[in-house]
Structure 1
Amino acid sequence: MILGPMPATILIVDDDPHIRHLLVFAFGKAGLETIEAADGEEALAQVERNAPDLVVLDINMPRMDGLEVCRRLRATSEVPIFFLSSRDDEIDRVLGIELGGDDYVVKPFSPREVVARTMAILRRTAPRAPQAEASPVIRHARLSLDTEGWAAQWNGRDVSLTVTEFTILRTLMASPTRIFSRDQIIDHVRGPGFALTDRTVDSHVRNLRRKFAEAGGGDVVETRAGIGYRLGPCGGAAPPA
């Protein structure tokens, strides 16, 4: 008997059992496995034990909030993180992205929307069938991306990126002379129609710049005032003052 690929496993972290059960049902209908955690400490233990493919993470929880859980996970893992926010507070959302979150939705939310966004993230990270001649590695000066292995390098040194950071950089590298508006970046990363803000895009770009600057690449992404972003020369120059 030939077995198909194992379904992805989603860790749902929320102190409200009703929300957990709602998402367990929605993900189950989509053919995904789920595990649950009622607080941040249990979430960290579940990640350690079960290595989920994605974490759906409530921001506002007792004992340890979602932002602290994200901070601790990012110290050791690049598992995609999808935030649930109980209030429409842009500061929380932007901070979550800056800590390494990949997406977010504000409560009350549509379970179908959460599943759709989760599936989009999983598709971006799924292994791809090898192509006969096309190389999965794209390069620009000292920067290289392995688009199948989801690996970024600067001067041969690995730079750890989240799914969203990687996708933004891949978008810029695909058209290195093009300037992308923030709306165009959102369309490439999420697909059209997602209600993200300019500040969220800016937060991801700040993360990219910081990570590459720490590796010696201060000129990976350029800003074009009033327009958007494009790929920089990637020669190793210091970031602009």
Structure 2
Amino acid sequence: MIATSCRSWLPEAAVARAARAVPLGAAVHDWSATWFAGRQAMVAGDPAFGRGVDLARDTAIGIDDMLAMLMPDQTGTVVASLMFGAPDDPDALTPADRDALLTASERCLADLRTRLAETFGMSLDVPWRPMTAPAADIGWRTYRVDADGLGPLLRVAASDALIARWRRGTLPAVEARDPLGALAAALADQSVAVSAFVGRCGLTASELATLSAGDVVMLDRAIGEPVELSVDAGRGPMRGTIRQLDDRLQLTIV
């Protein structure tokens, strides 16, 4: 299997807010309430950000480069103590007793892994595998899980890409709208302004200043000669002729 590193589509600040919004605390609380009698595990503080994940003192098991559970060597023993209480004399435990405690704690941790995958919206069919070094070129958010009265229990690491995917899945669905109509149909209903260019003449500034009511200005276009038309102040391909109809001008397209 080839794991492909991918980056988040969310800005850094948005990923940080989303990481704090992941309901991991509720998942851990429900898990501990199911397995531990009178004791509790909890997410401690906000997730820490880093490139890659430090595995110097932990055993890691994860799903690709997306989600990982990081466990110190004593995690199994602490989980067994939370489930059954600390033995009065650990040295008195038989090999069979130790195997039974180990099996019970592994089932407990396997249930936590299932709850983690569900919390982040991952498929439960994807197996968890041992991890040697989570990708160092992508961002990770690491959550610390503490055991009631016993200190740190384990850590949960989620990639920024996974957190962004979780956040996207929590967004409300986009309301379906009617599809856009054809462009030609939309343009057909668009109103336009049509103008006719009657003609022009050349005057000096002094001649223009002397014009008064009753003066006649001769244009350069003959009567009956087609005039140019413009659409929305832009010159168009059509031409027309102007005639008088009663007290208005009539434009005939030619």
TM-score over 0.5 (shorter chain): no
Q: Which has the higher contact order (CA 8 A, sep 6+)?
A: 2
Q: Hey, which of these two has a bigger chunk of strand by percent? A: 2
Q: Which TM-score bucket, shorter chain as reference?
A: under 0.3
Q: Return the TM-score normalized by structure 2.
A: 0.22
Q: Hey, which of these two has a bigger chunk of helix by percent? A: 1
For the pair shown, which has the larger CA radius of gyration, 1 or 2?
2
